[in-house]
A = this chain, B = another copy of it.
């Protein structure tokens, strides 16, 4: 068994599917282990939108995400630190992965100025001025008490020329080295907190491979593939993930950032990706778009007004076990807050269960057949 270990962090590949790159295993943190491939619910502001932490436990969430940019600005790193870290602040005992905030600095901040040293930006909340460096972003995440820290990266926009993408990627690689150095310097004090590098390089094969090799040369306990799901096509995303996955060490976990459409997740699992996050399942839920084994359902649709069956006959989630399509449709149409929560519970359960089913299929060495059966039903429609 391949195993990566860094303090209390570990990753084990326990099974590989012969017909593709898919692999199943587990990763361990100071706050427990999770099986991979894993879907990670997004709790940007220390809250998975519309859910409580009791809800997350009830649907079997493993790792959850939080966002360093958001928490640094509000409630402020020092508040979370004073609470005893993010786990205590939000009362979540499971593993937490924090995104460094690179993506948010570039997508949310109204003003930003990037230099080799770091990024000056204004808060999207109150316009206050801040300067984040790779070292600073690492310190913020250490202070938050995150189990898995992400390197501070520049998320290259789409489309980008080869030159722009190359310059941006190489800056991110220099930053990754600085993050690693800072994390190394603090690792004794912060035993149990691990750090992942992030591959960039846009849609260019040479840049993606160069980036993955550069990170592997620095050496991280885990690797993320970033700069995807930013507007490129599905095939471009699949390629970018594939090139990176080929260059990354077999023994370390691979995390495809921002990807979490059911079909995309299964594609990436086949390429050897182990971890996923995406706001789409929760955002769609709040817009009334719900996953079912027979495809997406728009719960606002007229046809559900008098449909007293469960949302998905094949689903074992707390919502499908109790409430009808008609009631969910009514709640959504009536603008009831509870619609947001019930829809979110269902969509996250769906993604967590899909990842669990993928794991079982990999252990049974029938992942590609499982994927095809899932897609045939999913695409057949409701």
* Contact (Cβ within 8 A) A330 B75: yes
Complex interface: stretch among A23-31, A138-146, A240-248, A334-342: A334-342
Docked pose: A331 CA to B89 CA in angstroms: 11
Residues of B near A308 (CB, < 8 A) are 82-84
Q: Is A163 an interface residue, CB under 8 A from the partner?
A: no
Docked pose: A79 CA to B307 CA in angstroms: 9
* Contact (Cβ within 8 A) A90 B341: no
A248 → chain B closest CB, angstroms: 35
Residues of B near A305 (CB, < 8 A) are 75, 79
A18 → chain B closest CB, angstroms: 44
Residues of B near A357 (CB, < 8 A) are none
Residue of B nearest to A335 (CB): B45
Complex interface: stretch among A103-111, A267-275, A318-326, A346-354: A318-326
Q: Is A52 an interface residue, CB under 8 A from the partner?
A: yes
* Contact (Cβ within 8 A) A337 B338: no
* Contact (Cβ within 8 A) A306 B82: yes
Residue of B nearest to A89 (CB): B327
Contact bitstring A276-308, B, C-beta under 8 A = 1, else 0:
000000000000000000000000000001101
**Residues 36-68 (chain A) with a chain B CB within 8 angstroms:** 45-47, 49-54
Q: Is A91 an interface residue, CB under 8 A from the partner?
A: yes
* Contact (Cβ within 8 A) B91 A327: yes
* Contact (Cβ within 8 A) A324 B79: no
* Contact (Cβ within 8 A) B342 A52: yes
**Residues 140-167 (chain A) with a chain B CB within 8 angstroms:** none
* Contact (Cβ within 8 A) A322 B83: no
The 8 Å CB contact of A337, one of B50, B53, B333, is B50
* Contact (Cβ within 8 A) A337 B337: yes
A57 → chain B closest CB, angstroms: 11
Residue of B nearest to A322 (CB): B91
Q: Is A234 an interface residue, CB under 8 A from the partner?
A: no
Contact A338 to B89, CB < 8 A, known contacts A75-B333, A82-B308: no
The 8 Å CB contact of A341, one of B75, B79, B329, B341, is B341
Q: Is A14 an interface residue, CB under 8 A from the partner?
A: no
* Contact (Cβ within 8 A) A52 B338: yes
* Contact (Cβ within 8 A) B74 A334: yes
* Contact (Cβ within 8 A) A51 B338: yes
Residues of B near A318 (CB, < 8 A) are 54
Residues of B near A45 (CB, < 8 A) are 330-331, 334, 336
A117 → chain B closest CB, angstroms: 30
Docked pose: A79 CA to B54 CA in angstroms: 33
The 8 Å CB contact of A326, one of B79, B306, B326, is B79
A87 → chain B closest CB, angstroms: 12
The 8 Å CB contact of A336, one of B47, B327, B330, is B47
Docked pose: A51 CA to B337 CA in angstroms: 8
Residues of B near A322 (CB, < 8 A) are 53-54, 91
The 8 Å CB contact of A327, one of B74, B90, B326, B327, is B90
* Contact (Cβ within 8 A) B52 A83: no
**Pairs A–B under 8 Å by Cβ, sample size 8:** A46-B330, A54-B318, A70-B334, A75-B330, A75-B333, A83-B308, A91-B323, A337-B340
6 A-B pairs besides A50-B337, A83-B327, A89-B326 with CB distance below 8 A are A45-B334, A51-B338, A75-B334, A79-B306, A79-B326, A83-B326
